[in-house]
């Protein structure tokens, strides 16, 4: 069974003091058999990592450069993130694509740089896919995913995490639809299986992002192809975030009973 992964994406919210206080408040309250992460501003990552210590909390970078070092003023090096103890980096988020014009090629180079230094990329992709019919069966090809995974060695693919984020759901007031979440995650998994085979396709964790909150996370996480959630505004409040983490714990126990 794929290990559930719940990530708080704080975007450009919370200063260093607020970030550290949040980590202190939750680090002893997290389940040990789930991965829980917080994607925070780069300026807070080292302090958060120090406070998290050996707890089951991953401190995640929201972005980084494809260049490991050099004359790139204002950029963040993957190598420096690794040195700070960061183990995951989020890449290709819809807001990076929309606001900063990041292309598939640019994201692909960042993915390769992350893997080069031992950081696991969390690759965000939306609903841009091509639907084809082969021998009467519908197949989906996620062009973004195919492009950003170009050149990734087969032995590294199982480490990669994918997040499916429909563009209409990111940062909106729409209610996330569990069936839409499952349909998108299942289509991505099908595409991965066709690209890399059953073993790799079945092992990659696929998260759902977009308007996830305490009211809908249970139904979303109950879906068989949804392995976790990338949570925006609902993750900024301590009690709300812990409520969602505990809800995922209950869902996981139910899935284990089915197996």
- Write out the binding residues for substrate: 9-11, 171, 211
Decide if 93 is catalytic: yes
What does the H/E/C string look like for the chain? CCCCEEEEECCCCCCHHHHHHHHHHHHHHCCCCCEEEEEECHHHHHHHHHHHCCCCEEEEECCCCCCCCCCCCCCCCHHHHHHCCCCEEEECCHHHHHHHCCCHHHHHHHHHHHHHCCCEEEEEECCCCEEEEECCEEEEECHHHHHHCCCCCHHHHCCCEEEECCCCCCCCCCCCCHHHHHHHHHHHHHHHHHHHCHHHHHHCEEEEECCCCCCCHHHHHCCCCCCEEEECHHHCCHHHHHHHHHHHHHHHHHHHHHC
State the helix-helix crossing angle for 16-26 and 42-52, rounded to 10 degrees: 30
Measured between alpha carbons, how far is 9 from 153 in angstroms, rounded to an integer?
28
Contacts with 242 (C-beta within 8 Å, 6 or more apart), sequence order: 26, 29
Annotated catalytic residue, options 93, 95, 102, 182: 93
Measured between alpha carbons, how far is 186 from 194 in angstroms, rounded to an integer?
12
Annotated catalytic residue, options 35, 95, 102, 165: 165
Annotated binding site: 9-11, 171, 211
Backbone angles phi, psi at 257, to 5 degrees: -65, -35
Catalytic positions are: 93, 165
């Amino acid at each position: 069974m794929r290990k559930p992964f719940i990530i708080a994406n704080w975007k450009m919210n919370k200063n260093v003091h607020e970030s550290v206080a949040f980590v202190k408040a939750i680090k002893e309250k997290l389940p040990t058999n789930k991965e829980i992460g917080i994607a925070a501003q780069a300026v807070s990552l080292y302090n958060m990592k120090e406070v998290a210590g050996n707890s089951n909390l991953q401190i995640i970078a929201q972005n980084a450069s494809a260049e490991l070092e050099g004359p790139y003023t204002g950029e963040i090096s993957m190598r420096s993130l690794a040195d700070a103890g960061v183990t995951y980096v989020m890449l290709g988020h819809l807001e990076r694509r929309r606001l900063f014009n990041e292309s598939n090629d640019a994201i692909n180079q960042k993915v390769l740089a992350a893997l080069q230094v031992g950081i696991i990329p969390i690759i965000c992709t939306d609903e841009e896919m091509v639907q084809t019919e082969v021998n009467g069966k519908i197949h989906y090809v996620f062009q973004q995913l195919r492009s950003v995974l170009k050149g990734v060695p087969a032995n590294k693919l199982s480490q990669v995490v994918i997040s499916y984020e429909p563009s209409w759901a990111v940062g909106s007031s729409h209610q996330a639809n569990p069936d839409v979440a499952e349909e998108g995650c299942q289509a991505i998994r099908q595409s991965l299986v066709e690209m890399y085979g059953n073993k790799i396709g079945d092992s990659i964790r696929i998260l759902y992002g977009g308007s996830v909150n305490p009211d809908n996370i249970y139904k979303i996480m109950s879906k068989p192809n949804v392995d976790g959630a990338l949570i925006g505004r609902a993750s900024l409040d301590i009690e709300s975030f812990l409520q969602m983490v505990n809800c995922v714990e209950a869902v996981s126990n139910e899935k284990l009973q089915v197996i």
